[in-house]
Structure 1
Amino acid sequence: MCKDIGTGAWVLVENQLERTDHGHLGQLLTYASGLEAVTIIWIAARFTEEHRSTLDWLNKITDESFRFFGLEVELWRIGDSPAAPKFNVVSKPNDWSRSVAQAARAIDEADLTDTRKMQLDYWTAFHAVLSKVGGPVSGNRKAQPQSWMNYSIGRTDFALGTAMNGFKQWLRAELYISGVHADAHFNLLHDQKDAIEQELGYTLQWEQLPSRRDCRIAAYLDDTDAQDQNDWPRQHKWLAAKLNDMHRAFVERVRKLNADEWQPYPQALPPNDV
């Protein structure tokens, strides 16, 4: 597992040094079901036609947040040199080549779906609110046509974030914790839960995410339709307030965290994967 440093989305690499089989395909789908956005790369010695066709089909029917790649690996040797791997792409998202080329240019709104256009407009308007508020979280950044945005809090493996969910009708502001010490860092912050929530003046959702190996500390605004542009001022005001609150409450606490100081609880916190 690794992360796209630009978006913070997970990238999963499944290595299979033999012909593809249904078992590994099932594992890939299980991984994808536990993640909000993910790129999955399936590497094998040889792809059967049915598995290549399945990846093509998945790229066709899934949301743009999910990308499936199939790569066949070969070993090449030139003269007496050590053998080196060569990867041949047998399946990729239909618009991948175009998307890579566009990444270096401004987003062409004509190529976006209606949902992506709405998301781009939503975060653009939100960043204007962040800039106007003038809090510690800056709105001076480029909006993206996606359902979430991340903001720095000054330490690797930690990020402030916002997210929208049109199906469940909520907005979320969060501190997202990743990396090999995610559980330790989460529990060290959880030890300060009462003080943090008293400082904020409201409770938070403390979520361990075992399917992602990450953790989240979040606030939710329920029964909210991000597509209702008339309601954006209220939504953006709420998001800006929560992001800036969390930055003030967590920035120094995050900076001082030392995973070696955490001792496991006698009984682990119950997982809460929202």
Structure 2
Amino acid sequence: MINLGKLKEIKDLRKVWPHEAVDFTPWLAEEDNLTLLADAVGLEITVDETESSVGDFNVDIYATETETDRKIIIENQLEDTNHDHLGKLITYASGKSADIVIWVVKRAREEHRAAIEWLNNHTDENIAFFLVEIKLYQIGSSDIAVKFEVVEKPNDWTKEIKRNTSNSPTLQARYDYWVAFNDYAFQNSAFAKQFNKRKASTDHWMTFSVGSSACHITMSQIRKYNHALVEWYISDDKELYHKFYSNKAAIEQEMGVQLEWNELPEKKASRILTYKTVDFDNKDTWSEQFDWMMDMAIKMKKAFKKYL
């Protein structure tokens, strides 16, 4: 007979985090914990500051979307949503010129869900508002598990339509490719175990976390040259790049490919990549393209993480 534990929800968040600024914000700003929130909203997030000044006030977390440099503010509330925090969100977004606003709360009241929905539908297409509830669960006396549940987010279809008002065939083709990639890749258990699903967009790239804020994996559609590209991207750490480069032979041997190593001396970033010539317009070959990109990403993560 199999004995199953009973899952219970912990309603009082302050049993875990007594104080928002002192306990919850520092906890959320830690890389592993922020990744949980980032995965829930489908973004790559790098913390810039906690308790970042906005006039006489402080935004809980000021951050950047990795790769795009779009600015993010995260406001935490270990209670039900209220008008005071909604007003702060607008003030902080304005003061920080934020592109993405994330409101993390215990419970979202209906009027505030409606307000966030209205903001997403009536603001510029480059602005995104997320309303996220914190859930805590425990089985018996096990460790407490946290889950972030998105209750309001931008209407992806509406946003994409707005972004494509120019009717650009290239933007539409990029978007269709990433939608198809997501549908295909995350039915593959080996890939899904290694990477979290990212939102399809009209960008030529899609990024995946590797468990470090210093680097990530990027897949790209370089349509000008018909190249499907997979790269290990280091945003600002030349010492780490040199560490990888000193292990170049072992990394390439494990992956079974020769990589291009680009330190980019004129920039902070470094790139280590491989690419394959493909026909993006031939949808019959998309599954083959996706298989290659997935395989390279899995091998790249395994080979490089040994030296992090």
Q: Kindly tell me: are residues 9 and 141 of structure 1, through their superposed partners in 2, closer, same or farther at Cα, counting changes over 3 Å?
A: closer
State the partner residue of 1:118: 173
What 5-or-longer segments of structure 1 have no aligned partner? 12-38, 40-85, 90-96, 255-274
The residue identity in structure 2 corresponding to 1:194 is A
The aligned residue for residue 106 of structure 2 is none
Q: Equivalences for 1:237-248 in 2 at 5 Å? A: 237-248=291-302
- Cα deviation for residue 105 of structure 1 reads 1.1
3-state DSSP of counterpart to 2:276:
strand
Q: What does 1:1-274 align with in structure 2 at a 5 Å threshold?
A: 5-10=64-69, 98-101=124-127, 104-107=153-156, 108=158, 109-111=160-162, 112=164, 113-135=168-190, 136-138=193-195, 140-179=197-236, 182-222=237-277, 224-254=278-308
Shift of 1:177: 0.3
Unaligned runs of 5+ in 2: 1-46, 49-62, 72-93, 98-122, 130-152
Q: Equivalent residue for 1:20?
A: none
Q: Which aligned segments of 4 or more residues in structure 1 are displaced greater than 6 angstroms?
A: none
- In structure 1, the residue matched to 2:137 is none
- What is the identity, as a one-letter code, of the residue corresponding to 2:222? N
Instruction: Give 1:102 deviation, angstroms.
Output: 5.5
Matches of 2:285 and 2:195, distance apart in 1: 22
Counterpart amino acid of residue 167 in structure 1: K
Amino acid at match of 2:238: D
3-state DSSP class of the match of 1:206? strand
Amino acid aligned to 2:307: R
1:97-119 Cα shifts (integer Å, max 9, x gaps): 52234665122243323322221
SS in 1 for 2:186: helix
- Aligned match of 2:27: none
- Give the secondary structure class of the aligned counterpart of 1:217: strand
The whole-number CA distance in structure 1 between the counterparts of 2:246 and 2:127 is 46
Identity, in percent, stands at 24
Q: Which amino acid aligns with 2:265?
A: P
Aligned equivalent of 2:21: none
- How far the C-alpha of 1:190 sits from its partner, in A, is 0.6
Which residue type is aligned with residue 289 of structure 2?
Q
Alpha-carbon RMSD across the aligned residues, in angstroms, is 2.8
Give per-residue Cα distances to partners, 1:47-79, cap 9 Å, x unaligned.
Answer: xxxxxxxxxxxxxxxxxxxxxxxxxxxxxxxxx
- Tell me the distance in 2 between the aligned counterparts of 1:187 and 1:99: 40
Q: How many residues align?
A: 170
Aligned to 2:31: none
Answer yes or no: is the 8 Å Cα contact 1:147–1:163 preserved in 2.
yes
Distance in 2 between residues matched to 1:150 and 1:231, nearest whole Å:
22
